Amino acid sequence: MNIRDHWDRLDQPTQKWLIDNPGCRILPRTVTTIISKATGEDPGSGQHGEMVLSPEDHEFIRSKATESLSA
């Protein structure tokens, strides 16, 4: 699963959290659960329910954060 392909399925508060935390490489359990429910996919969470972002997802979120600063 990757965030880029499912970005439009995420609710606004989740998108905002991701944009507000662009340096986060491991998403907390609560955010991982929201993403899983929104996409219907198992994000492959770790032993504590967190999700490790791929380098591509991390770059995508950082680009969204940069866009939001320009807007």
Q: What is the pLDDT of residues 7-65, one digit of tens each?
A: 999 999 999 999 999 999 999 999 999 999 998 887 766 667 888 999 999 999 999 99
pLDDT value of residue 70: 82
Task: Give the integer Cα–Cα distance in Å for 71 and 5.
Answer: 22
pLDDT value of residue 69: 85
User: Residue 61 is which amino acid?
Assistant: I
**Strands 26-27, 51-52: parallel, antiparallel or unpaired by DSSP?**
antiparallel
pTM above threshold 0.95 = no
